[in-house]
Amino acid sequence: MAIKTWPSGERPREKLLSQGAASLSDAELLALFIGCGPRGKSALDVAREALGHFSGLRAMLGASREHFCQQPGLGEVKYCLLQAALEISRRYLQETLQRDTVFDSPRATRDFLVMRLRHQPREVFVGLFLTAQHALIRYEELFYGSISMASVYPREVVRRALELGAAAIIVAHNHPSGVAEPSRADERITQQLREALDLMDIRLLDHCVVGDAEVVSLAERGLL
């Protein structure tokens, strides 16, 4: 049955307008992007089948273009729409963080790091360069690959901090395995970075490790 034939209170668009986007399920939100389904199926049917196939929204949004487009009722147009929506969300969070003081909003910082890093298929080491008041100057991806392969260079982090006039910095990286537990290599590079930045009177405020379901702060663990 087509969604337009449903009672108005059950249609995703009308439900969003009357109750807000947070009231919609993952399938209902996805159905708004899908628009309409193939003959005999509603957009909500397609959305539910896609979420079941990919085992959830995150896996679906992180799927390759080829895998995504193979799912019945989706295709390249839907892929582009959802990837654009995902990037808009990332940029919205970045702008929000740029306006706010980082340590006045630690949850926003963690949410931002999760949005930026959790979907990455490889390890990415990033820096949040901050003013003396801990407001964000710049977010940058700095290094790629495993920390255990010595791919992080403290002198480059210091150089970039000086170029940007940063007074403090938060660094972070993801664990594509999904496990946020810091490794010995994570602890070592944290100490090396702190010592290098201290020489230039730049504070290393934290090193966060982003996993699948959590963000671990080395500062909170007393490792800074």
Could you please report the per-residue DSSP string of 70-88? HSTT--HHHHHHHHHHHHH
pLDDT of residue 115: 79
Q: What is the pLDDT of residues 14-34, one digit of tens each?
A: 888 888 888 888 988 888 888
Considering the chain, what is the average pLDDT of its residues?
85
What is the sign, positive or negative, of the torsion defined by CA atoms of 181, 106, 207, 96? Answer: positive
With cut-offs at 50, 70 and 90, classify the pLDDT of residue 42.
confident
DSSP secondary structure letter of residue 135: B
Q: What is the pLDDT of residues 70-121, one digit of tens each?
A: 998 888 999 999 999 888 887 887 777 666 556 556 677 787 788 788 778 7
Strand partners, 208: 172, 217
Residues of the chain with pLDDT > 90: what percent?
31
Q: CA angle, corner 150, sides to 155 and 197, nearest 5?
A: 25
For every residue of 143-207, DSSP letters joined together read EES-GGGT---HHHHHHHHHHHT-SEEEEEEE-TTS--PPPHHHHHHHHHHHHHHHTTT-EEEEE
Q: What is the pLDDT of residues 161-198, one digit of tens each?
A: 999 999 999 999 998 888 888 888 889 999 999 999 99
pLDDT of residue 194: 94
With cut-offs at 50, 70 and 90, classify the pLDDT of residue 150.
very low
pLDDT of residue 183: 87
pLDDT of residue 15: 86
pLDDT of residue 70: 92
Give me the domains of the chain, ranges plus CATH numbers: 3-88 (no CATH), 101-217 (3.40.140.10)
